[in-house]
Each structure stands twice: as C-alpha cells, then as structure tokens.
Structure 1
Amino acid sequence: MFQERLKSMRLEAKLTQKELAEKLKIGQNTYSYWEKGIRKPVGENLNKLANFFNVSTDYLLGNSNIKDQKQFDEDLEKSLDTFKSFDGKPMYDEDREKIREFLRKRMEDRLKDN
C-alpha cells in the first residue's frame, strides 16, 4: 500500500522520481526503492515525505486512510459542537466522547471502502 500511495501522490504533484528526490534531498535510487517497495523510509525521511505531501506518516504507511489527521479532528469537533444538547438536555462529555469515537470509526471504515 505504501508504494502505491507514494507513487500516486508523486504523480498527482506532477513530479518525476528524480524531481521529488531532489526536493527531498535524497538520492534518486533511494526514492526509487521506496516506490518499488524494496525499502521503506524511516525516521527523518518518512517525516520529509509526510511534510512534503501534507499527509500523516500513518497515512503514508497505510495505517490510516485519513490523509490529514489534524483537519479530520477539527472537522469532527465542529460536527460535535452541534450536539451540545439532546432533547433540550445538556450532553455529557462521556456521551460526546462515545459519539466522537463512533464517528471516527465510521469515517475510517468509509474511507477504507473507497
């Protein structure tokens, strides 16, 4: 999954492997190995890729289908703000947390299906 995402994002950015390697200040062979699935970046190089493409390292590695976790969390909180009360009664923090976890799981599942 990692190599497919990496290649897809590179092509979406309209960059060659060489151009992207230069922007990341790594060797073209190193980048090519990543895209072929021969190796995976770790540490600083993984962070360079995530920062360049503005995605999370979890998304890059295939551990999450949410590209921008921070934006996802902000959107989720905005949605939850509409649930300050239910049937005229204030909603407890525990209830909000249950709704938050349900929505997070549901969105993850929907993103997996796409």
Structure 2
Amino acid sequence: MVNRNFPVPFLEERIELGKNTLYSWKKKIPTGANLIKVAEYFDVSTDYLLGLTDIKRYYETSEKDNSVQNIAAHHDGEEWSEEELEEIKQFKRFVTMRREARKHKGE
C-alpha cells in the first residue's frame, strides 16, 4: 500500500465524499458506499478499515483477470457484456474475501 499522507479534506474531495464526512465517522457509522470508496482508494479491505482484521487485502488481482474469462467461458448462452464480466469479477472477489475471512477466524 502506498503511504498517502495528506489532509483529510483532500482525501474527501479526491474520493468524492462530502465535507467532514470522515470526521463524522467518529460519532456515527459510515455508509457502506463511503466505506468502500475509502477502502478502494487505499487498496485495503473494509474489514481492515473497521479494525476487524489485520489482513489488509483478502485477494490480489490484476486488471486483466483471466480467471473471470475462464468462469464466463462456461456459460452456454450469448456473449457476456463488459458490465456483466465486471459483476462476475466483483462476485469472485466477494466469495474470495468471505473464504479468507472464514480461514482467518478459524471456521
């Protein structure tokens, strides 16, 4: 992870959060969407941001994730759109994160 040492207002503007959104998290629970924005910006899991785990990332993937193409190749219907392939990639990440969380918890 790249160390990004800068003022909070800069981060809020950079990831399109409202003014003082991050400061408000001291008193109220962040929305899932905002939490995801911060996690994606710092390339860490939301569980890591919430202090639920010491594991920064549950998965490692590249922009050209061929495994998504392999999954999609097993479909017998019409061709997948780019949007559908992205949804498959996101679901794969979700399943991988859940599996790693269970391993970490010793389930």
Could you tell me which of 23, 29, 34 is aligned with 2:20?
Answer: 29
Which blocks of at least 5 consecutive residues in structure 1 are unaligned? 1-8, 72-100, 109-114
Deviating beyond 3 angstroms after TM superposition, the runs of 4 or more aligned structure 1 residues are none
Structure 2 counterparts to residues 5-16 of structure 1, below 5 A: 12-16=3-7
Q: Which residue of 2 aligns with 1:51?
A: 40
Which blocks of at least 5 consecutive residues in structure 2 are unaligned? 61-99
- TM-score, normalised on structure 2? 0.50
More contact order relative to length (CA 8 Å, sep ≥ 6): 1
Could you tell me which of 69, 73, 76 is aligned with 2:58?
Answer: 69
**Bigger helix fraction:** 1
Superposed CA RMSD in Å reads 2.4
Q: Percent identity?
A: 40
Indicate the structure (1 or 2) with the bigger Cα radius of gyration.
1
**Matched residue count:** 63
- TM-score, normalised on structure 1? 0.47
